[in-house]
Structure 1
Amino acid sequence: MTAPASKDSFGSRSTLRVGDESYEVFRLDSVAGSERLPYSLKILLENLLRTEDGKNITADQISALAGWDPKAEPSTEIQFTPGRVIMQDFTGVPCVVDLATMREAVTELGGDPDKVNPLAPAELVIDHSVIIDVFGSSDAFERNVEFEYERNKERYQFLRWGQNAFDEFKVVPPGTGIVHQVNIEYLARSVMARNGQAYPDTCVGTDSHTTMVNGLGVLGWGVGGIEAEAAMLGQPVSMLIPRVVGFKLSGDLQPGVTATDVVLTITEMLREHGVVGKFVEFYGESVGAVPLANRATIGNMSPEFGSTAAIFPIDEETLRYLTLTGRPQEQLDLVEAYAKEQGLWHDPAREPVYSEYLELDLSTVVPSIAGPKRPQDRVALSAARPSFRQSLRDYVTHDEQVPHTNLDEVDEESFPASDAPSLSFGTEDRSPARSAAAGSNGRPSKPVTVNSSERGQFELDHGAVVIASITSCTNTSNPSVMLGAALLARNAVEKGLESKPWVKTSMAPGSQVVTDYYERAGLWPYLEKLGFHLVGYGCTTCIGNSGPLSQEISEAIADNDLAAVSVLSGNRNFEGRINPDVKMNYLASPPLVIAYALAGTMDFDFDNQPLGTDRDGQPVYLADIWPTPAEIQRTIDSSITKDMFTQDYADVFDGGQRWKSLPTPTGKTFEWDADSTYVRKPPYFDGMRLEPAPVTDISGARVLAKLGDSVTTDHISPAGAIKLDSPAGQYLAAQGIERKDFNSYGSRRGNHEVMIRGTFANIRLRNLLLDDVQGGYTRDFTQPGGPQSFIFDAAQNYAQQDIPLVVLGGKEYGSGSSRDWAAKGTRLLGVRAVIAESFERIHRSNLIGMGVIPLQFPSGESADSLGIDGTETFDISGITALNDGSTPETVRVTATRQDGSTVRFDADVRIDTPGEADYYRNGGILQYVLRNMLQS
């Protein structure tokens, strides 16, 4: 495929010679003002120069970007054409399902199915389907992979079909690694060479943590699956020229401080500052001293602080990492030559102009964790114990207190440390501290004795760490924290320490390279001695694939409503995400994950309490086993080689015998299996015509859910385990699927019937239409009195009576992962509009992409301030103005109460660009793309 010719209005087309190769390039210095732009905007400018077609991408857009006003609020639309698309299987399977469905729709409308084909390289890494069923044993990895293939055979066959049916589409099979770690270690180019051109590597991904690649100087971010599909099909991503926040790094890290501590500090700072919809760019004297792995860790957490991207520029450290990870010399030469020629090479002495400025002196960072339910809620490790005790108040009931104590009136001084034993098992005291929840000094207490056939007898209480998982590419891509954890494990074992018997321990690296350097360093045996056996190469605990707890522990927690805890080295710790038995979740560095496995409880003071005693009976503190920075660096230098990367990635698309032996369908269109409960043809294009029907106002709508602040896509989109008594569980049971084979929502994302039933079904969702009820419930106003009902069942009843639906939300509605099903499920339930106080970027865009209009309450107003309780009937007028080719700034909302009184207000229309308006007029982005294909 040849590259489309640019109109080149600015005469920027030129040639760059690197070694024996010559490349067409588009010079940034041909545009006046480009030299002052931040690094990230220079990449966007090159993108516009190279793709200028005079229609979607115009000279005016180029001039507007070159003339960027750093202080202006975003208002100018540009069209960004990403160089490639990266996907994981949870979000990638529905993308391929949609592409397969589009091929059928094109055929039915008289078009050529081959037109539905990726025009940009698309790479999918199967990493989200492994579940930690087996742990703590040497065969855990093999057994978990076997279970994975058994559960996901239909999905994997479908993806193999897609790999053969579509051009420019590659699949990395299961058991290889996590998408973002594979991206930085192998797939990312930093500078792309394609069709005779050289240009910056850019990408969009169907996972919000696509931003991890920002650490390599690659501009990319997460989008919804529907946007990714459009990008694969050649559609540019519509966006406003963003504000760019300059984040200056200075100083050096103190001994004992990890990259995880840095990123939790940055997350807290940027969330507090406010960077939603903005680019964050790191600069300053200390950038060059930040290892690439640390940069990737920081980039990975961009969704947690809310920015679109969090990028580091290309420099010597970038080249060092590309060399280490086995990129060929000609690629290294191209990256260096191109970056220097285009002014994209980092100059620490130059301070670009930014919209806003922040600075972090790295020497001020202290060891930290974050929790119990949000990544931005950083807690200094030294304050972890009192913070946990304070947070515990939100997770226990008042009847758990000792007599004459009011928990709400207890201050921190009422929570003294106690030297009494806490979580003991058998007759031997194995725990260093009394649980915060189990004292007789004013703390809520619910000690429960557990008898385990495998682990003996022990006592559980609030705060027990029941999951300690080294997981997620956020940290498993970083040798400093991974080898730091392994060295800490060695030191702990040599002191005679053990993980507590109630802790489910696991190690799930993001690539096979981690295994290689653990083996070369001789550290695997120590990790395994503490129970941190390899369970899989994939995204596990961080996305809810933690697997079940042992039955006796799960029952003890459920029967006694214990506030159990997970500690993981991931990036997400939202409520209800990690494990249905666990209420409180904390993010921590890999070494601290092991430390908490040794402690066994969150009610622990690492500075003053010993983790246990050594073989001589002497107390052992965390400081006694924490490895020094020099020791970690020596281990890195002696155990990690370039050969590890080249060998592990030499056959990255091969997949081995399991993958290759899967029966694979053939043909340009997919033969749908009517009995499949994993992959089904979705209804998006049913009855679609060549011309879109006019958009209409909304009349007589009912509220499906009234939700509060910080409702995430985890609350909305189906995720985690499927419960037997849920609508999705009932559906699967009706199809003859046994409970043990339900798998997870993520694994069944290719079946819209399951996913609709799981939308808004998170066990921690609080629908304010109901009092003190959690889960996927609402009031069904098609029934007298509006009784409590499953959200899916109520939506079905509304649909039968042709009643449209709306959702009411608070601040930051839809924050979290770029989950297309949060929007798809919303639309398929019959929701026409979401009215919220504010939206997170990706979900707002995805709603439009599915034909749902996002509306915002007037500034300073909310449903509560307007006196709206969700029992009203809603009429929304003014939407039809979109039929005239314009987008109204506001629409009129009228909420009619049951007594006939009304509340009226003008809601802001959050269709922010003309491109988004086109998507909405067409009923969604896929319909828009399909019609454009047929018309061309």
Structure 2
Amino acid sequence: MTVVAWTGYGGGGGRSRQMQKLYERGVKYGVEMLWQKHLDGYDYSLLIVIFSLESDVLPYSIRVLLEAAVRNCDGFLMKKEDVMNILDWKTKQSNVEVPFFPARVLLQDFTGIPAMVDFAAMREAVKTLGGDPKKVHPACPTDLTVDHSLQIDFNKCAIQNAPNPGGGDLQKAGKLSPLRVQPKKLLCRGQTTCRGSCDSGELGRNSGKFSSQIENTPILCPFHLQPVPEPETVLKNQEVEFGRNRERLQFFKWSSRVFKNVAVIPPGTGMAHQVNLEYLSRVVFEEKDFLFPDSVVGTDSHITMVNGVGILGWGVGGIETEAVMLGLPVSLTLPEVVGCELTGSSNPFVTSIDVVLGITKHLRQVGVAGKFVEFFGSGVSQLSIVDRTTIANMCPEYGAILSFFPVDNVTLKHLEHTGIEEPPDKTVWEPVLYLKNKKHVIKINLNSIVPSVSGPKRPQDRVAVTDMKSDFRACLNEKVGFKGFQIAAEKQNDVVSIHYEGSEYKLAHGSVVIAAVISCTNNCNPSVMLAAGRLCDCVRANYLASPPLVVAYAIAGTVNIDFQTEPLGTDSTGKNIYLHDIWPSREEVHQIEEEHVVLSMFKALKEKIEMGNKRWSSLEAPDSVLFPWDLKSTYIRCPSFFDKLTKEPVALQPIENAHVLLYLGDSVTTDHISPAGSIARSSAAAKYLTNRGYVYMVIACFLVIDKVSLTPREFNSYGARRGNDAVMTRGTFANIKLFNKFIGKPAPKTVHFPSGQTLDVFEAAELYQKEGIPLIILAGKKYGSGNSRDWAAKGPYLLGVKAVLAESYEKIHKDHLIGIGIAPLQFLPGENADSLGLSGRETFSLTFPEELSPGVTLNIKTSTGKVFSVIASFENDVEITLYKHGGLLNFVARKFS
């Protein structure tokens, strides 16, 4: 028998006595304790401790799921069986789906705009149905960070006492590529300039490959002699951003004014994951006199970072975030939890980068895909918050859903250091993971992690620093390839003399000719630069290393060195200086961080967020209950999801004589379905933007006719126009790489049947809708794979697609289809369109039973007389309820009305 006791923080004193009462009552009443939330004037809901006759304890991450399940159990969205399934995690993991109510939602502007537009449109719909639009609010705290829309238009700076290693007068240089300024004593064979990410050219000359609006005049970093921008350029870019995105920013400001639970983090504040970690993360959440664990889901890809401070969180799609905002849970398969026990202490020469990459590599080798990873053991205390959050942020590298570090004293110190409000009770326990089945636990001894570098040609080829000399010598011998240069044995020890600026230098194989810490340059991801050979194409070996190792190898002047036995050089007295003489310990580094990364910095961030900047404060925005839609706007438009909404849901209608809009193959991604990049000039979206025609408005009893059209330079991207359903619908299936079997080659086209015309996908769908013909999509395996994207479901819905018939789905995308009102149908195992002899030119008909149930088998009849069975891929009653309402938005709109 499993016994549950709630232990936590109540509304007053006497916590220990109340916890003891809870424990005793839990032992007495067993699982009935699950339904008792109020005791002696206190509400307890912070930490769940599990007791059983076998002394098994749930992992901390699963306890967060269980606590949320108990607190939100209502018999429909969260059932008692869901709670019991989580409680019985040991036997039910990987076999059942459970709902989860996170404490809050995090959006960034690109994904936040469609969510908030849907809420604004829902207010219109509720009013149309006779309800009160003021009741429409997100059900949970929702933070929206405006950070993704900033583009670099200016990088012009004044030169302030900076040396000019490249020669010439930089003040007169005019426009120039930053990467063309060369450090002093940079030696390259056969040319006077080295190629970075731009074509080579004379210093001070514009290569002609930059947009005229981009100005690149550098100021040089005094440490690395690399160009960096001045703060004034940030202000210039923000000014352009406010002009370019004024409509969207005004809409966000309106949203923050009229919707409860919505907070907008204004532009110029910081990136979403930084703000989330340093400002929004609370660790302990308070709501309605309850204290409970903070948790979050959101659309930012870095959201898993907060698991490093004991906050359960992971990324989900746009429709899932809307679902949570609308009061529904997210669904996940009850995960297996892999305990990662850290023991030992780190090698003195190991940096945080080495520790993070070492743990990441080990987890990738073990295989933790689709699982929770939970860290415990004596070694955890050696990891700083930076280490933990970086490990948690790298989940995609090793495939885990999340990597969870339970709250400990290091976490509490971080809260104090950053000014985040601390929990009312600081009692913590050393994280211990009790799992009887040892296959669920992996051990990593921090002593086994050694400093390493990557190269000489690929970032994935890691080499321990202790093996660097022997590995480099081996590379000289190996055949030309990823790890070989095939240098003849008699030439491997050649030394050449170089004269530069009056001095003589000796170069040999392994000599360091370029050493840079590229965190303050304008390069892209260093791994990409290394793989592409873009640091300098006349240097054949490139290594990635941590900054201190870059400095060490630069001092040594060669990679052909064993740091353990050979000195870096000598001091002024001729004494040999070894790496261990100058290498700082991790304790020294952490001490410097604590001394210089001070509380005032985080307070400044908090003030910046709460007060905003002058542009944000002076930005005019409406405060009306309903958003005043601007008919001329090409960014913000009231979507048509609610156009046919009725007060009560109608009975499920059969799909009769549906045509196939697209006949697709395997691995069709959400980017194939709804691209987020630039709008092609020949696309249906471009035609709409350039030839919108006339907009008719009634102003002060006068009919005003206004012509609206844009030039290609004003198109922006699909991602920026997610608040305009007309653009996004026309952009659906507009990816030039989409392979439609009707066409036989990659193209955003399809065939309209029975006319046989080859048209843009939107034009064909529009023609079908005029003819009153429903549509379906035929697809292969993994339909909807890739990044979660809500418009990959919304777009097909607005095209008139009633169902998708595929061999298999990416689960998140399948949830999106249901959430928008499209039926996800699945071929029986072993069957597909080819095996059934379907050409896609037939029409398809099916009828839904009155009592639709999860996984029910349906029969489809084609116009050729063929009848075959498919699975209605609904997994629970909630999904069926949403589908019967025509999707999530309709379901909630009816509730509000």
TM-score by length of 2: 0.70
- Which one is further off, 849-858 or 245-254? 245-254
Structure 2: distance between partners of 1:83 and 1:616? 51
The answer to whether the 8 Å contact 1:127/1:177 transfers is: yes
Cα distance change, pair 670–63 in 1 and its aligned pair in 2 (3 A): same
Cα distance change, pair 54–854 in 1 and its aligned pair in 2 (3 A): closer
Question: Quick one: which of 720, 731, 748 aligns to 2:721?
Answer: 748
* Alignment of structure 1 residues 348-387 onto 2, 5 Å: 348=432, 350-351=434-435, 363=448, 379-381=460-462
Cα distance change, pair 886–602 in 1 and its aligned pair in 2 (3 A): farther
How far has the Cα of 1:152 moved from its partner?
Answer: 0.6
Equivalent residue number for residue 141 of structure 1: 234
Cα distance change, pair 615–761 in 1 and its aligned pair in 2 (3 A): same
Equivalent residue number for residue 180 of structure 1: 273
How far has the Cα of 1:923 moved from its partner?
Answer: 1.0
* Alignment of structure 1 residues 695-710 onto 2, 5 Å: 695-710=652-667
Equivalent residue number for residue 849 of structure 1: 819
How far has the Cα of 1:153 moved from its partner?
Answer: 0.2
Indicate yes or no: 2:384 matched with 1:275.
Answer: no
Structure 2: distance between partners of 1:901 and 1:366? 68
Structure 2: distance between partners of 1:55 and 1:160? 35
* 1:480-532 alpha-carbon deviations (Å, 9 max, x no partner): xxxxxxxxxxxx9xx87689xxxxx9x7xxxxxxxxxxxxxxxxxxx2xx446
Structure 2: distance between partners of 1:235 and 1:382? 48
Indicate yes or no: 2:649 matched with 1:682.
Answer: no
* 1:432-455 alpha-carbon deviations (Å, 9 max, x no partner): xxxxxxxxxxxxxxxxxxxxxxxx
The answer to whether the 8 Å contact 1:264/1:368 transfers is: no
Indicate yes or no: 2:888 matched with 1:921.
Answer: no
How far has the Cα of 1:270 moved from its partner?
Answer: 5.5
How far has the Cα of 1:707 moved from its partner?
Answer: 4.4
How far has the Cα of 1:737 moved from its partner?
Answer: 1.7
Indicate yes or no: 2:391 matched with 1:298.
Answer: yes
How far has the Cα of 1:85 moved from its partner?
Answer: 1.6
Equivalent residue number for residue 28 of structure 1: 48
**Corresponding residue pairs, total:** 720
**What letter matches 2:873 in structure 1?**
R
In structure 2, the residue corresponding to 1:740 is in which secondary structure? helix
Structure 1: distance between partners of 2:608 and 2:670? 35
Indicate yes or no: 2:735 matched with 1:762.
Answer: yes
Indicate yes or no: 2:842 matched with 1:873.
Answer: yes
Equivalent residue number for residue 753 of structure 2: 782
The answer to whether the 8 Å contact 1:264/1:369 transfers is: no
Structure 1: distance between partners of 2:411 and 2:105? 21
The answer to whether the 8 Å contact 1:714/1:762 transfers is: yes
The answer to whether the 8 Å contact 2:679/2:717 transfers is: yes
Cα distance change, pair 223–12 in 1 and its aligned pair in 2 (3 A): same
Structure 2: distance between partners of 1:93 and 1:53? 31
Structure 2: distance between partners of 1:251 and 1:615? 31
Structure 1 residues without counterparts, runs of 5 or longer: 384-409, 420-427, 429-491, 500-504, 508-526, 533-566, 570-585
Structure label with greater radius of gyration: 2
* Alignment of structure 1 residues 372-411 onto 2, 5 Å: 379-381=460-462
Structure 2: distance between partners of 1:687 and 1:568? 48
* 1:25-62 alpha-carbon deviations (Å, 9 max, x no partner): 36634886896222122112111222333454344433
The answer to whether the 8 Å contact 2:149/2:241 transfers is: yes
Equivalent residue number for residue 245 of structure 2: 152
Structure 2: distance between partners of 1:217 and 1:730? 49
Question: Quick one: which of 650, 665, 669 aligns to 2:622?
Answer: 665
**What letter matches 1:235 in structure 2?**
L
In structure 1, the residue corresponding to 2:858 is in which secondary structure? strand
Equivalent residue number for residue 930 of structure 1: 893
* 1:225-266 alpha-carbon deviations (Å, 9 max, x no partner): 333233223333455544434445556677567649946974
How far has the Cα of 1:765 moved from its partner?
Answer: 3.9
How far has the Cα of 1:78 moved from its partner?
Answer: 4.3
Cα distance change, pair 144–807 in 1 and its aligned pair in 2 (3 A): farther
Cα distance change, pair 681–727 in 1 and its aligned pair in 2 (3 A): same
In structure 2, the residue corresponding to 1:823 is in which secondary structure? helix
**What letter matches 2:37 in structure 1?**
R
Indicate yes or no: 2:97 matched with 1:65.
Answer: no
Cα distance change, pair 271–85 in 1 and its aligned pair in 2 (3 A): farther
Question: What percentage of aligned pairs have identical amino acids?
Answer: 37
CA RMSD of aligned residues (A): 4.5
How far has the Cα of 1:366 moved from its partner?
Answer: 8.1
In structure 1, the residue corresponding to 2:709 is in which secondary structure? coil
How far has the Cα of 1:13 moved from its partner?
Answer: 3.4
> Which has the higher relative contact order, 1 or 2, with Cα contacts under 8 A spaced 6 or more apart?
1
Equivalent residue number for residue 489 of structure 1: none
* Alignment of structure 1 residues 412-811 onto 2, 5 Å: 527=520, 530-531=521-522, 567-568=524-525, 598-599=535-536, 604-606=541-543, 630=585, 636-637=593-594, 639-734=596-691, 735-773=708-746, 777-782=748-753, 784-785=755-756, 787=758, 789-811=759-781
The answer to whether the 8 Å contact 1:245/1:280 transfers is: yes
The answer to whether the 8 Å contact 2:110/2:719 transfers is: yes
How far has the Cα of 1:66 moved from its partner?
Answer: 1.6
Structure 2 residues without counterparts, runs of 5 or longer: 1-10, 12-30, 156-177, 179-228, 465-479, 492-500, 502-511, 570-578, 692-707
Structure 2: distance between partners of 1:195 and 1:296? 30
**What letter matches 2:790 in structure 1?**
D
How far has the Cα of 1:634 moved from its partner?
Answer: 6.7
* 1:454-497 alpha-carbon deviations (Å, 9 max, x no partner): xxxxxxxxxxxxxxxxxxxxxxxxxxxxxxxxxxxxxx9xx876
Equivalent residue number for residue 67 of structure 2: 46
How far has the Cα of 1:195 moved from its partner?
Answer: 2.3
**What letter matches 1:275 in structure 2?**
A
- Which one is further off, 97-106 or 754-763? 754-763
Structure 2: distance between partners of 1:180 and 1:196? 28
Question: Quick one: which of 862, 868, 874 aligns to 1:911?
Answer: 874
In structure 2, the residue corresponding to 1:732 is in which secondary structure? helix
Cα distance change, pair 498–9 in 1 and its aligned pair in 2 (3 A): closer
How far has the Cα of 1:130 moved from its partner?
Answer: 1.0
Structure 1: distance between partners of 2:800 and 2:329? 28
How far has the Cα of 1:98 moved from its partner?
Answer: 0.8
**What letter matches 1:922 in structure 2?**
H
Structure 1: distance between partners of 2:675 and 2:242? 21
How far has the Cα of 1:672 moved from its partner?
Answer: 0.5
Indicate yes or no: 2:858 matched with 1:891.
Answer: yes
- Which one is further off, 739-748 or 686-695? 739-748
Structure 2: distance between partners of 1:669 and 1:355? 56
Cα distance change, pair 381–892 in 1 and its aligned pair in 2 (3 A): farther
Equivalent residue number for residue 285 of structure 2: 192
Equivalent residue number for residue 3 of structure 2: none
Structure 2: distance between partners of 1:413 and 1:119? 56
Equivalent residue number for residue 37 of structure 1: 58
* 1:160-219 alpha-carbon deviations (Å, 9 max, x no partner): 011111112111001111222211111011111222221111222233543222222112
